[in-house]
Amino acid sequence: MQAGKILFVDLDATLLSDDKTVSKGNRHAIRKALDQGNYVVVATGRPVESGRIVVKELGLTMPGCYMIAFNGSVLYDCSADRVLYNKTVPIHYVYQLFEKARQAGIYIQTYNQMEVLTEKHSKELDYYTEHSKMRYKLLPDVVAGLEEEPHKVLLISLEDQKLLEDFEQENAAWAEGKLNSFFSSTKYLEYCPAGVSKGMAIEYLCNFLNIPIENTIAVGDERNDISMIKAAHIGIAVQNAVDAAKEAADDITENDNNHDAIAEVIGKYILL
């Protein structure tokens, strides 16, 4: 495939409407971009399994389709159905995060290849699985039950973002050099391996495909999208994005995620 433009697009509140569907306008624009020899990369904080549901539903399984999952911990080739690289959180850091979250009274979960892993049923678990469509497993000791190192750990607070902000700040010195932390929404505080981000994944994939960074466009809405908005040649925030993402962006869409924002970006920057 001849090198074309490469679009990196966040899922939740960017490509997906608030009801978690993809509009006909966005679908048509994505298909047209691919037909013209461009690349489309879904870039999400979701696990591979959850992201794969959206990818398959959209038909993004042809050559030129990739997925950044777990905020950059995994890079996945959608057409070949294979992982190009993955980075994991050392088990002893997972153990320490679970201990710290337990002491702070904050819900925490991690993952195996197919499921959410947590220690007890809660409203946070219900909220997450409803939106991600993932199965879950309850374990009395999650860390002891892990068969391999996970790709990320997630803390959730549905009502009190400050609780998560305080946790991140209080543990910043401990996490430095060990883990990368960021918010993917007001409710989710994510911990990934050190050095991992959507921006780092952009650089890796461009090198892998031998595509110049000048051919990249990235679109997102949240703080965990800022690294890819900055890494891409053209970084774009959707109209409904948080202020920090808008401040980092080169452009802001006129439309929001419920009104074909991605079709707007594709029409403006990608289609011939």
Residues 114 and 203 in one domain: no
Last residue of a domain, one of 144, 164, 193: 193
**pLDDT per residue over 81-107, tens digit each?**
999 999 999 999 999 999 999 999 999
The pLDDT value recorded for residue 3 is 62
**pLDDT per residue over 109-129, tens digit each?**
999 988 999 999 999 999 999
pLDDT value at 27 more than 80:
yes
Whether the CB-CB separation of 148 and 88 falls below 8 Å is answered with yes
Kindly write down the DSSP assignment for every residue of 118-139, as one continuous string: ESS--HHHHHHHHHH--EEEE-
Whether the CB-CB separation of 183 and 223 falls below 8 Å is answered with yes
In terms of residue numbers, what domain contains 121? Answer: 91-193
CATH of the domain at 179: 3.30.1240.10
Residues 26 and 113 in one domain: no
Residues 186 and 227 in one domain: no
Residues 234 and 176 in one domain: no
Tell me the CA distances in angstroms from 37 to 75, 116, 211, 269, one per residue in order.
Answer: 21, 36, 13, 14
The pLDDT value recorded for residue 272 is 74
Q: Is the pTM of this model over 0.85?
A: yes
**pLDDT per residue over 206-223, tens digit each?**
999 999 999 999 999 999
Residues 255 and 244 in one domain: yes
Tell me the CA distances in angstroms from 250 to 157, 197, 199, 238, one per residue in order.
Answer: 31, 19, 15, 11
| More confident call, 183 vs 113 | 183
Residues 137 and 170 in one domain: yes
